[in-house]
A and B are shown apart, each in its own frame.
Chain A
Amino acid sequence: MSKALKSTAALLVVLLLTVPLARFLLLPFFPAFGPAHSPPPGDPDPLAPALVGSALLAFGSAALATPLALWLGLLLEQRQWRGNGMLTALLWLIFLMPGYLVVSGWEVLLAQLTSGVGVALRHALLGWPGFVALNALKGLPPAILACRAGWASLEPILVDSARLHVHRRASRWLLNARTMLPFASVSFVIVFVESMQDFGLAATLGGQLGMPLLVAEVYRGIAAWPVSWPRAARAADLLVLLSAVAILLRVWLGTETRAPVLIRSSAQRRARPSSRERCFAAAAMAAVALLGVIVPLTGFAADVLTVQETANLQETGVWQLPQGSWRALCASLLYGASGAFLALLLACALLAIGSRSRAGRIAMLVPMANMAVPGVVLGAAWVITFGAPPLVLTGTPFAMLLASAVSQLPVLLLLLGNVLASRHSALGDAARVNNVGLLDRLELIHLPPLLRPLAWGWSLAFVRIFFDLPLAMLLAPAGGEPVGVLILQLQHGLHFGPMAFLGLVSLALCGSVVTLVCASIRVLTRSMA
C-alpha cells in the first residue's frame, strides 16, 4: 500500500474517531452542532476559577505521582526483589477499584474520628491534600507502566557504560533522569490529564474542596436540569486546552531528549537491591497497601456488614449475586476484551503510520482530546453524532465498542509511543528484503520484544472498559448493560450487601483475566528468549 494511501487511511480513521468529540467541542462557536432540542442556555458562571483550580490540583497530583512512578518502575523492572509480585498485584488492585470506592471507604473510617487531631486529619484528607493524594494514588498504576516501559527498554550496556565512565553518582542520576525524561513526561501527562477529567473523585470530594472544578462544570452543564450544552462544551474546551498544553510539552521533551535506546533483545539480568533499597521498597509497599487498599476496603466492608436489612425487602442475601449479575459480568468481559483489542490495534496502526511523517505525528495528537474530557461528554457526543442518519450506530454494540476503544486510545498512544519509537527501524528490513511476508515479520521479529508492553496496554484498557460507567450508561444497548451500571443502581437503592458482593466478584474476575493474560505473555516471552 503506498505511503499516501496509508496516510489517507490513517487520517480517515482519525477523523471518524474524533468527529463526535470535535462536534461537541465546537458547540460554543457553532450551536447548530448541538442536539436539535435544547433548553435556552442561562447566564454562565465564569470558568476562570474552575480552570485555575483544576490545573493546580492536577499539577499537584502529577508532581506527586511521577517521581514515585519512576522509582517504583525501576524497582519492578530492574531489581530482583521478593516483593515485586505483591507490589504489582497491589497496584493492579488499586487500579481496578473505582475512585469513588476508595474515597467512600476513607470517608466511612474518617467519620469515626471526632477528637481534635482526628477532625483536623479528616479535614485535611477530605480536602485538597486528600484530593491530590488520592488522584496521585489512582494515577500511579498507569504512570508506573509508562516508566516500566522506559526502564525495560534500556540496554544494560548503557547502564554499565554510565557506571564505568561517569564517576559521580549525582551525574549518573542526572544522566538516567535525562534518559528517562520522555517516559517520565508520559507518566506526568497521564496523571495530570486523568486527574482533571475524573468525575468520581470530584463528585465525592468536590463539595469539600472549596474551589470549583472544570469537570464539575462540565457535568453540571450536561447533566443538571436545565441542560446547557454550550456551558458543558466551554468547560470541556478548557479541559482539552490544558491537556493539549501538557501533551505538547511532553512531545517537545520527547523530541529534545530522546536517546537512541534499543528494545533489549534478551531477558535482562536484574540487580539485587541494596539493603537501603529493600527498606524503601518495603515501606512503599506498606504505604500503598494501607492507603490504597486496606483502609478503603475496610471502611467499605464495615459499612456493608453493619447495615440492617429488614425482611420486607424483596432482596437477595448479602452473599448472593443480585438478579442480572452474570449477564452484566459477561457484557463487561466482552466489551472489555474486544474494546481493548480494538484500542490496541488502532494505537499500533496509528503509531506505525504516524511516526513516518511530521503530518502523521501531528495527526496522532488529535485523538488525545478524547482523554481530556469526562466519559459522559464522550458518550453524549457519540449519541448526538451516531444516533441519527446517515450513520446510526446507537442501539448496537458498535457504538459502545468504538467509543470505549476511542476513550482508551490516547493512553495507549502515550504508553506505547516511546516503546515503539525506540524500536530500531532496521529490525525487520533484512527479513523484508528476503521476501518474508508481513504477518511472519510481525510474528517473528516485531512482536516478540513488544509482547510485554502490549499486554500491559491491553490489560490497562480492559480494566478501564470493564468498569466503565458513563459510556455504558449512554451507549450500551438495552439489556446488555455492563456491571458498572448494575453496581451503581444497587448503590442508589442502598442495597449495599449485594452491591459489595457484586463488586468483589467483579474485581476478582477482572483480576483473574489480567493475571492470566500477563502470565501467559510472560511464559511466551521466556520461551522465546
Chain B
Amino acid sequence: MILVANAAALAALWPRGEDQLVIYSMMGPARALTAAFTARTGIPVTYINLEGGPMQARLYAEGDHPRWTVAWFTGEAPMAALDATGLLARHAPDDPEWPDAPFTDLARSLLPADRAWLPTRIGLGAAFVAAAGAPAPGRSWQDAFLQARAPGLLSPVSSGGAYPVLATILAVATGSGRSLLLGSRSRLRIFPSSSLLFEALRSGDVSFAILPSETAFNLRRRDRRLSVTLPVPNTVLPDVIGVSPHASPTDRKLAAQFIRFVLSAPGQALLGRDTAAALGWPPVTNAVPNPTLPTLPVDLVHLPAGLWGARQDEEIGWFEREVVR
C-alpha cells in the first residue's frame, strides 16, 4: 500500500509534457505578465522564479544541457558572466530573431556589442531611503554619509541585490566610496535581508538606508512615511533578458515573441504591476512611466558589466574585512 501511494505521488508530481517556453527569472512572480502572454499567443510559459545565487548555481550546473530558454536578471553583471562563458546566445545587429524595440537613448546605450541581452526595465544602482520621521538626506553622497546618525546597508554576502549598491558607492560616490564607508564604519548597520532593514527604517533604528532604486521605491510603497532621494552621481542598473544558445530554432522564436511582448506597451504596463521591476522606468519610448516615480535622472554612469562583475568577489571581500569586521 505504501509503495502504491509513493507511485501515485510520483505520478502526481510529474511535470506536464506539452512544449512550453521555460524562463528562469530573478524578477519575482510575474503571473499577470505570463498569463497575458499565454492568452495572447497561446504559448504556455513555465516561469521559474529563483534567487540570484541558486539561479546562478542552476544555470552553470546545467551548462550545455539547459532546461531554460530565457534567463532574466536584475543587473548586467551575471548576464556578462554567462556571455563570457558561452552560455548566452549572441545575435548580429540584423538578426531577425532578435527583437528590436523603440528603445530610449539610455536603453540603447546599454545594448552590448554582441546583442546577447536586452534591457527590459531601467533602475538605478542606489537610492537613499530616509527613516520614518527622519529628515530626507540631500543628494550628495558626502552629506548623506557624514550627517547620518546610522546609515543602513544590505549585506552583499547574503543579499544578491546589495552588490550593485556597493559597486555604485565604490565607483561613483564623491569623496571616494572607500573613504566614506571606512569613515562611517562605526555607525554603519549591515542587514542580511531587506525585510530586516525595512523594520529598522520603520522603527528608526537606522536613519537612512542605501538600496537599489526598485527596492527603495518598493519599501516606500509599503510605508508612506519613508522618503526616497536619488543621489548624484548614480549608476544605471537595468533588468536584462537573454536566450540560451542551446535553444532550438522553435524555442528561439518563442523566446523572441516573449521578449517583444515584454517590451511592448501592454507588456511594460503588466511588468509594472507585480514583478520586482514594478518600480523601474521603461526602456522603450512607447510605454508610460509609473507616475509615482520621479523623472529618471539624466546624468547616469553605466558601469562596465564585465569589469564590475569580475570584481564582485574582491570588492565584497574588502567590504567584509575592512568595514564589517
Contact B221 A312 (CB under 8 A): yes
How many B residues touch the partner, as a band?
35 or more
Contact B32 A314 (CB under 8 A): yes
Which of B20, B32, B81, B190 has the largest number of chain A CB atoms within 10 A? B81
B60 nearest in chain A by CB position: A35
Checking A211, A323, A342, A481 against B31 with a beta-carbon cut-off of 8 angstroms, the contacting residue is A323
Known: A104-B195, A219-B53, A496-B195. A225 touches B81 (CB 8 A): yes
B31 nearest in chain A by CB position: A323
Instruction: Collect the chain A residues with CB atoms within 8 Å of residue B20's CB.
Output: 478
Checking B31, B192, B202, B205 against A204 with a beta-carbon cut-off of 8 angstroms, the contacting residue is B192
Contact A207 B203 (CB under 8 A): no
Contact A39 B6 (CB under 8 A): no
Checking B52, B53, B203, B276 against A493 with a beta-carbon cut-off of 8 angstroms, the contacting residue is B276
Known: A37-B85, A39-B85, A310-B221. A204 touches B193 (CB 8 A): yes
Indicate whether A488 reaches chain B with its CB closer than 8 angstroms.
yes
Instruction: Collect the chain A residues with CB atoms within 8 Å of residue B12's CB.
Output: 330, 334
Checking B46, B60, B194, B223 against A37 with a beta-carbon cut-off of 8 angstroms, the contacting residue is B60
Contact B53 A376 (CB under 8 A): yes
Indicate whether A28 reaches chain B with its CB closer than 8 angstroms.
no
Indicate whether B86 reaches chain A with its CB closer than 8 angstroms.
yes
Indicate whether B187 reaches chain A with its CB closer than 8 angstroms.
no
Known: A107-B196, A225-B56, A331-B13. A310 touches B222 (CB 8 A): yes
Contact B9 A307 (CB under 8 A): no
Residues in A69-128 with C-beta less than 8 Å from chain B: 104, 107-108, 111-112, 114
Cβ proximity bits A217-255 to B, threshold 8 Å, 1 near / 0 not: 001101111111100000000000000000000000000
Known: A220-B313, A376-B53, A384-B61. A338 touches B6 (CB 8 A): yes
A473 to B61, CA, bound (A): 13
A37 to B312, CA, bound (A): 19
- A-B pairs with beta carbons under 8 Å apart, 27 shown: A35-B63, A36-B64, A37-B60, A38-B85, A42-B314, A111-B200, A203-B192, A204-B158, A207-B158, A207-B191, A212-B320, A222-B56, A225-B163, A226-B312, A226-B313, A307-B223, A313-B221, A379-B57, A383-B62, A387-B62, A389-B65, A392-B65, A394-B62, A473-B51, A478-B46, A492-B276, A494-B198
Residues of B near any A CB (own CB < 8 A)? 2, 5-6, 9-10, 12-16, 20, 22, 28-29, 31-32, 46, 48-54, 56-58, 60-65, 67, 77-78, 81, 84-87, 155, 157-158, 160, 163, 190-196, 198-200, 202-203, 205, 218-219, 221-224, 273-274, 276, 309-310, 312-314, 316-317, 320, 324-325
- Supply 9 further A-B pairs (C-beta < 8 A) apart from A223-B160, A228-B313, A330-B12: A36-B63, A36-B64, A226-B310, A310-B222, A383-B58, A387-B61, A387-B62, A387-B67, A493-B276
